[in-house]
Amino acid sequence: MGSIPTLPGIESRMVQTPRLQQHVLMSGPAEGIPVLLIHGNASSATFWEETMLALPPAYRSIAPDLRGYGDTEDRLIDATRGCMDWVDDLLSLMDTLGMPKFHVAGHSLGGSVIWAMLATAPERLLSVAVFCPGSPFGFGGTKDLQGTPCAPDFAGSGGGIVNPEFARLMGEKYRGTEHQASPRTVMNSFYWKPPFRHPREEELLSGLLSERVGPDRYPGDLEPSPYWPGVAPGKFGPANAISPKYVGDSVERMLAAEAKPPILWVRGSDDQIVSDFSLFNMGTLGKLGVVPGWPGEEVHPPQPMVGQTRWVLEQYAAGGGYFREEIIPDSGHSPHMEKPEVVNPLFHAHLEGGSR
């Protein structure tokens, strides 16, 4: 059983795989069509519960806590493999559960994991849904639609760009609001568009605070850099794992793969975390004057995260795949939680199309 109370209809269990002991939430019929749900950073499987319960009766939902999060066994994340520790964990989980093919949906960092999964095992995926995913080229440190790095060492991405106060308060399991960088304040300011408040705020905050914190966990390590803003990626933890330094050739492999499952891309119109002017991106913060010494638009512009995702998906479609982009009005970084009455019908129709 997990440490966070679940809604009625959600089963919480530990699954031992060849790689690690993984905490998993499940719902729906045991023989149902599997839907794997991958949560984001500073989050956990708890964030999927309402989405799970809303699925049509033919589906079996599987929402694990990723390595480094929740009640899953604590294991180091080797960031030099990009998202591959997570991909290998998840494929091993689905093997253990006897589910060779499945639908997959990912939110935020979970979407970044899916890009790597599409490069690795696309033939196993019945359909793909990404909700406000990280750019296929990684988070931070790139400057154009094709993901060109701003600096040779990928400065401006990785563990060094995380607000240390946020990470410190996470490590202390701080539940208050006295600090601007308090986890509760960040969640209610950026995970959704204010004034939205989720009815299960306390459980979601517990999920956020479940992430492992430390120099080799979150935010991870860093390397000093001669390039602005003076920090380059280290080798451990989730923030380094989504650095463009370690994405490698996953975009090329995803585009070259024969199997191309249909992709639904859903994003909030007012997302401030993943956007072309993200408030979590060094280029944006430099341009706004928040981080001093900004070298200018030519050298380190705000990362065009949405533009990069669209560019990659257009190449995917040109190579024989299919994608659909849906922008949910008046919502932030979690439209599936903010506007389930709008997003669930889109998601369910997409699942039905991929199940045929």
Span 248-269, pLDDT tens digits: 899 999 999 999 999 999 999 9
- Judged by phi (left if over 0) then psi (alpha if -120 to 50, else beta), residue 295 lies in alpha
| Domain-embedded: residue 3 | no
List, in order, residues 6 or more apart from 233 with CB less than 8 Å away: 79, 153, 154, 157, 158, 159, 160, 222, 223, 240, 243, 245, 246
| End-to-end CA gap in the chain | 34
Token output for 94: 């689905």
Positive or negative torsion for Cα 101, 263, 87, 217 = negative
| pLDDT at residue 256, rounded to an integer | 98
Assigned token pair, 216 = 């080799």
Q: Is 186 helix (H, G, I), strand (E, B) or coil?
A: helix
In order, the DSSP letters of 76-96 are --BGGGTTHHHHHHHHHHHHH
Q: Output the domain CATH number for residue 90.
A: 3.40.50.1820
| Domain count for the chain | 1
The answer to whether residue 293 is domain-embedded is yes
pLDDT of residue 354: 73
> Where in the sequence is the domain holding 90, given as residue range(s)?
11-147+249-355
HSE (CB half, 13 Å, CA atoms) of 82? 24
CA 138, 140, 145, 147 dihedral sign is negative
pLDDT for 1: 80
Domain presence at residue 193: no
Quick one: tokens of 3?
A: 């440490």
Taking only the tens place, the pLDDT of each residue in 12-53 is 999 999 999 999 999 999 999 999 999 999 999 999 999 999
For the chain, what is the radius of gyration of the CA atoms?
19
Q: What mean pLDDT do residues 339-352 have? A: 98
Q: Are 112 and 83 in contact (CB under 8 A)?
A: yes
Q: DSSP assignment of 188-224, as one string? A: IIIIS-TT---TTHHHHHHHHHTS-EETTSEE--EEE
Output the pTM of the full model. 0.98
Report the distance separating Cα 71 and Cα 218, nearest Å. 16
Looking at residue 356, its pLDDT comes to: 58
Q: What is the rounded distance in angstroms from the CA atom of residue 314 to the CA atom of residue 320?
A: 10
Cα–Cα nearest to 134, from 83, 206, 64, 72: 83
In a domain, 163, yes or no: no
The answer to whether residue 215 sits within a structural domain is no
CA dihedral 44, 355, 14, 336 (to 10 degrees): 20
Mean per-residue pLDDT over the chain, rounded: 97
DSSP letter (8 states) at residue 184: H
Cα-Cα-Cα-Cα torsion 64, 50, 139, 267, nearest 10 degrees, comes to 150
Q: How far is it, in rounded angstroms, from Cα 297 to Cα 308?
A: 17
In tens, the pLDDT along 124-165 reads 999 999 999 999 999 999 999 999 999 999 999 999 999 999
- Would residue 28 count as lying in a domain? yes
Let me know if residue 178 belongs to a domain: no
Burial 47-72 (b: 16+ CB within 10 A, else e): bbbbbbebbeeebbbbbbbbbbbbbb
Distance CA(112)–CA(33), nearest Å, equals 23
A 10 A CB-CB count for 318 gives 9
pLDDT tens column, 271-299: 999 999 999 999 999 999 999 999 999 99
Name the residue with tokens 């079996």.
60
Residue 171 maps to a domain: no
